[in-house]
Copies of this chain bind each other. A is one copy, B any other.
Amino acid sequence: MKKKTTLNDIAHRMGLSKVSISKALRNHPDISENTKKKVRVLAKDMGYRPNLIARSLTSASSKTLGVIVPKIAHNFFAQVVAGIQQYANTMEYEIVLTVSDENESQEQKHIERLVAMQVDGLLVSVSMETRNYEIFNWLQEIQIPLVFFDRHIPGMGFNSVIIDDEAASIEAVDFLFNRGCKKIAHLAGYNHVSIGHKRRMGYEKGLNKYDLPVDDSMIIEGGFSEKFGYQGFKKIYSQGVKPDGILAVSFPVGLGAYIAMREVNPILMENIQILTFGDSGIGGVVSYPQYYLDQSGIEMGRRSAELLIKEIQGEIKPEGIIHFIETRIIDTGNISLVLAENLDK
């Protein structure tokens, strides 16, 4: 790479000190209008670009946010990142994006690296694997602004932005019940992951609401991927239990269940309603699973970036406040409606 023009280079050419150049370019009152003009012209001429790294070193602010997502090639997280970008951009922040790949040690490495890079704050969605919170304790000690999104660790004092999973689950059971389902199974996530736990709690509360029995054989705990949905359904089915509705903890799980169902007996597709958390990412042209709980990743991204930046700027404090993003049930049977909303994008 070619050597870059620095303040000093300009200073020498103009016979001024580098500080004067710095001030001129930052429109500091110390410098005369006349000089400022000349400096600006020469700076442009010489292709001067401020070295933001050097600036960060003095200003102790990098105008940079560290983001850690468990996955990026995953519609929901891609959306969240888009939302973060949108807000960060308007505030002149840049994003250093890292992916934990649901791996605790990766997550840890990234956190350390980001902190070492002097990001002004962190946005993290905790990996499913994470059990050891030491690193987060450390982050709290060094008091770096941090906002959790989607997957948080409650009770640590960090603010977080999440889906109101419990409420959404209750709503989901409501919805299925109102469509005639009396035996609703739940393909649940891991119970130690907050979303898994909450979705399950909501599911149980929803059943209670209608005096439906909570039957353990109707709850399969597992992961969030297609594989678990597939295996989960087969497991339920092999037990001889016949659900008429399924609440799946994620779209892939619902998808896996659907595949399994089709494999077992295509007729089931008409008799079992599947409702999943999260959509496929293509705005509603998937025929099955038909219903899903729409979670606005964009909104979540924006909100969390907003909170983080406010925290960085000292406008708010980390108080362990949980902000909820609303969820609504979408019926993909009604494609044209969903599409109409998307046509203008």
Contacts and interface: CB of A to CB of B under 8 A. Distances in A.
Interface string A224-267: 01110010000000000000000000010001101100010000
Contact of A4 (B4, B49, B142, B227): B142
B62 A53 contact: yes
Interface residues of A, number: 72
Contacts of A74: 78
Interface in A106-129: 106, 112-118
Contacts of A96: 64, 94-97
Interface string A39-70: 00000000101111110110000101000000
A226 B2 contact: no
For this chain, the copies found in one complex come to 2
Interface stretch (A192-200, A202-210, A211-219, A282-290): A282-290
Given A57-B57, A95-B98, A286-B286, 19 more contacts: A1-B144, A1-B145, A2-B141, A50-B116, A51-B116, A51-B118, A52-B117, A71-B82, A72-B85, A78-B78, A95-B97, A96-B96, A96-B97, A97-B97, A227-B345, A255-B282, A263-B336, A280-B281, A280-B286
19 contacts: A1-B142, A1-B144, A52-B117, A53-B62, A64-B117, A72-B85, A73-B75, A73-B78, A75-B281, A82-B99, A85-B97, A85-B98, A89-B98, A94-B117, A97-B97, A255-B282, A256-B343, A282-B282, A285-B287
